[in-house]
Amino acid sequence: MGPRSRKHAVSHFNVMVVGFSGVGKTSFIRTLIEALMLDEQERQKEQEQEATKKRRDSVMSETSFVNMEPEGPIEKTLKPYTVSREIEVDRERVLLTLIDTPGFQAEYLVDKQLHDIMKYIEHQFDLTLAEESKVKRNPKAVDTQVHCCLYFMDPKKSSLDEYDIRILKRLSNRVNVIPVIGKADQLTLAQKNRLKPRIIQDIYNKIPIYGIPTQEDEEDEDEDDDEDEDSIKKPENLTEFIAQFNYDEEDQETQIILDYLKVIPFTFISYEDEPDTGKPIEIPDVPLGRDFGWGTIDCLSQIYSDFTQLKQVLLSSHRRFLQLDTVERYYEQYRTEKLTFKRATKLKSMDLSSQKILKDLKDL
């Protein structure tokens, strides 16, 4: 029974996309799904020698979508929805769920829309807390917690504005946030090289997004060595922070984090879709690309965007970190807040009841 259980074990990984309207959130989901299909086709080619064997019902089966399959032209997302697909990563079965959300629109609606997103994230924590509180837990309970939130930013902005900062701060209190610049084909190389550092400087030491060191983290480290506290100069930016490490001498986990920090914010370019079907247009030798007439862009090429690296971060190199961080940091923080509030409410109720009893006794 042991080997069979491992064979059928599935790891759940849930990714939410958030951002203002028209920055490429839905296009990212479509592009990621198409890229995963290409990965499966490549895998099938490698397995042609075993074509006579029964095809395993694993990666990219048509029945793996939970709620819907994106089809038809790409349109504005009006209601939140999820798409789930079972994939195989590093010989592990993973049920990837992508959560698309309506884009933020009018400025006066941002807080209301953000509140709805936060309630969705917290509701998943509530489901976990309710399951943990049962006398007999369901062994088939599904992990619906949001392990990662991709925040898509407008490439036309020169830096983060007050709404971006407000949204990022709220989201970072409940979920691992990774910043992404959508529609990066609108940027020249020089513009991209200017925009990335500006965004990170707006975030560094101010907003605790995934992987970024915060001021509190560095202060905690300094407390361990009070004698050197005054002599340690805190890095003023992410570049200085990374420069502190000797990459070749670091362990593998540290190298993985450093590789990630060197890229963020990720840039993304979606494929050009057929207007009627939403499927990628056909470009010779370019499976997912855009045709500008004067030339073409391969959306999977690292020359033009960071999509391939982002895909690697999400599904392979950082997936377990994101899952673990969700449980040990965000869920535990939410659980503590929830139970503390419940206990305080109960104690207050007991105190009011005691006061009422004493009052009734005095009236006798």
CA max distance for the chain: 94
Would residue 223 count as lying in a domain?
no
Q: How far is CA 303 from CA 114, 185, 194, 308, in A?
A: 34, 11, 17, 10
Residue 98 tokens read as 């992508």
Would residue 134 count as lying in a domain?
yes
Would residue 219 count as lying in a domain?
no
- Average pLDDT of adjacent 10-residue blocks, the chain of 364 residues: 56 93 91 89 69 41 42 66 87 90 82 91 91 78 91 91 92 95 92 93 90 65 51 76 91 92 93 86 89 89 92 93 94 90 62 59 60
Measured on CA atoms in the order 108, 110, 115, 120, is the torsion positive or negative? positive
pTM over 0.95, yes/no: no
Q: What is the pLDDT of residue 363?
A: 60
Q: What is the pLDDT of residue 52?
A: 47
The answer to whether 325 touches 210, Cβ cutoff 8 Å, is: yes
The answer to whether 18 touches 99, Cβ cutoff 8 Å, is: no
- In the chain, DSSP finds a helix count (H) and a strand count (E) of 11, 8
Domain count, the chain: 1
The answer to whether 290 touches 299, Cβ cutoff 8 Å, is: yes
- Domain limits for position 240: 11-47+69-212+233-337
Would residue 225 count as lying in a domain?
no
Q: What is the domain-level CATH number for residue 30? A: 3.40.50.300
Residue 109 tokens read as 């609606």
Helix, strand, or coil (residue 286): strand
Would residue 5 count as lying in a domain?
no
Phi, psi (rounded to 5 degrees) for 115:
-60, -40
Q: Tell me the C-alpha distance between 258 and 266, whole Å.
A: 14
The answer to whether 309 touches 263, Cβ cutoff 8 Å, is: yes
